[in-house]
Structure 1
Amino acid sequence: MLMSDTPRPFWQTVSLADMSREQWESLCDGCGKCCLHKLRDEDTDAIYFTNVACRLLDLNSCQCSSYATRFRKVPDCVSLTPEVLADIDWLPPSCAYILIRDGQDLPDWHPLRSGSPDSVHEAGISGRGRMISERDAGLLEDHLVEWPAEIPAGVARKRRKRPRRR
């Protein structure tokens, strides 16, 4: 058996909790799906995605237009941390944070693998062209969609028990 001299990528060797800020931030593929509004059924606890994006999301680039100050402008914006990931059940199944948390690898279209920030858009994984701003949406119930919850090609998913709500 031949040993490869090529080092393994950081996401395969460093735990989420031990990643540097730069490594952690680079896991985001820029799909924009985490910035979509979701609804939770009070009776079943089921999550329903909408195509309605936070007002700060640039609908073309799928990047936050005010990332550094987003918590001041959108107080309920969630800061993803390894600790928070343990209890989250509403991120899309293609999310790199979820994939790595659940012991999966990054798909080929992820920018860390492809070398291009556009690969997530080119692969049709992002919300580009499918989202509307909350400023224009009206009732969220009128904008329910399934595509953010779909498991795209190249993502092998292990089913994970849903965390208990507190």
Structure 2
Amino acid sequence: MNIAVFCGSRAGNDPGFYEAAELFGHTMASQGHSLVFGGGKVGLMGCIADAVLAGGGKAFGVIPESLRDRELAHTGLTRLDVVSSMHERKALMAEQADAFVALPGGPGTMDEIFEAWTWAQLGYHDKPCAFLNVNGYYDQLLAFLKTMTQSGFLKPEHADMVIVEENADALIAALQKPVRKLSR
């Protein structure tokens, strides 16, 4: 399975974030899964790519020219696709991925996982979307999703589409279960 991972271009201030990204990468590789990611060599992105590659797995990066030109591209990947925009980056990653996972990250991570999740809600794909909730990083976001549901802006069946796990093995196992089809 090709797993698109969205995560920070920084490591964050909790060493557990880096450790979780590294473990997730090693777990993916050991189970024969490939990484699809933003193509960067920095932060959690670089960490997970290095871990997948060190474990003998494949890492496919997609990076906009502007970021490559700022020398942020990971140069040791299985393949690096250079595109002209962030829109192209997200579209190509979505095309290559069989599942989407958010590790800790900032606004870009949120943009990417929410777009993938929205596309699933609209029926553009039936690929699983998930959060690896490292050290409670996503607890407040998950509480807000409940508020969205209670307030009538998020259907319960759409909220239930999202997989949330706290460890790599459980998350990868959940990604491999059939996705529940939504009725229209």
TM-score normalised by L of structure 1: 0.30
More strand by share: 2
Whichever of the two has the greater Rg, that structure is 1
Higher helix share: 2
TM-score normalised per structure 2: 0.28
Higher relative contact order (CA 8 A, sep 6+): 1
